[in-house]
Amino acid sequence: MAPILDVQFTSGHADWGRLRDAALAAETAGYGAVWVVDHLAGRSMGGDQSFDAIAWLGALAAVTERIELGSLVVNVWNREIGVSAVAAATIAEISRRRFWFGIGAGTSPSSSFAWEQQMVGARIEPSMERRHDRLEALCALCDRIWRTEASAMPTFLRPMHLPQRIVGVNSVRLSSIAGRVADGINVAWRHPRRDEFLAACRSAVDDRPFTWTTYVPWSDGIEDPDHPDHRAMQAAGMDRIIILYPEKPPTTFRVV
């Protein structure tokens, strides 16, 4: 089966009107989902500003009708994990569609993204294992809130369409965690260890449903099934290809 094509936007170079129109254009063109980044400041994505991911997704949930929504990825240290779980359920309930709850373990103190956390006084966990543990704790909490019998969790939002937890990975350990506790994985297609990450995840996944996603920066013709990268992603078993527009998103798209 051919992979579903999605788009991903950043807000560093575009105002709300442009981002809204781009999402509506992608919906009209037949894309499967629109994904957004979770950064605190524009410089991290080469821009002048950054919208809060949850507020942005809530707005998209209200103005779109069919296209699914996703986060790539929510930093589990930007919010308390309970807040993130309730926020994901809220987006799914407002949109009445499947929400692709992309989550990531957060930055290290030496990362090029650490500066924005430091500027706002946010916690940066130096231990990679503890960062991974927090992501695993979020997945476990989501199971308790969304899937436990209602009588046991009587006052938490249980959306009609359960968010799908997609773990963005950059290590073998996190890939294995994704295979054990999440609903899917996301890898950067051009990451030099991509195949190693996918193999680690596959060895951990049981026979339950699981979604394989990858992201790639936009290039001319990448939407075409005959594009070499497109063919390679399909051959690798990717269910969804997320095309990243790192600057101002277009307001017209090729019909897919």
The pLDDT tens digits for 123-153 are: 899 999 999 999 999 999 999 999 877 667 7
Quote the pLDDT of residue 151: 62
Say if CB 1 and CB 236 are below 8 A apart: no
Q: Residue 199: which domain range?
A: 4-245
Quote the pLDDT of residue 231: 96
- Is the pLDDT score of 107 beyond 70? yes
Let me know if residue 97 belongs to a domain: yes
The pLDDT tens digits for 73-103 are: 999 999 999 999 999 999 999 999 999 999 9
Read off φ and ψ for residue 89, nearest 5 degrees.
-65, -35
Give the Cα separation of 185 and 238 in Å (integer).
Answer: 10
Let me know if residue 210 belongs to a domain: yes
Quote the pLDDT of residue 150: 64
Quote the pLDDT of residue 45: 81
Domain count, the chain: 1
3 state SS of 115? helix
Quote the pLDDT of residue 195: 98
The pLDDT tens digits for 164-187 are: 999 999 999 999 999 999 999 999
Let me know if residue 251 belongs to a domain: no
This model's pTM is above 0.85: yes
- Rounded to whole angstroms, what are the CA distances from 119 to 51, 58, 77, 225? 16, 26, 14, 43
Give the Cα separation of 76 and 107 in Å (integer).
Answer: 10
Read off φ and ψ for residue 191, nearest 5 degrees.
-70, 135
Residue 29 pLDDT level (bands cut at 50, 70, 90): very high
Let me know if residue 252 belongs to a domain: no
Which pair of tokens denotes residue 157? 């939002």
Let me know if residue 175 belongs to a domain: yes
Let me know if residue 254 belongs to a domain: no
Let me know if residue 255 belongs to a domain: no
- Is the pLDDT score of 6 beyond 70? yes
Mean pLDDT across the chain, nearest whole number?
95
Residue 154 pLDDT level (bands cut at 50, 70, 90): confident
Q: What's the CATH number where 166 sits?
A: 3.20.20.30
Distance of CA 23 to the CA centre of its chain: 16
Let me know if residue 53 belongs to a domain: yes
253: left (phi over 0), alpha (psi -120 to 50) or beta: beta
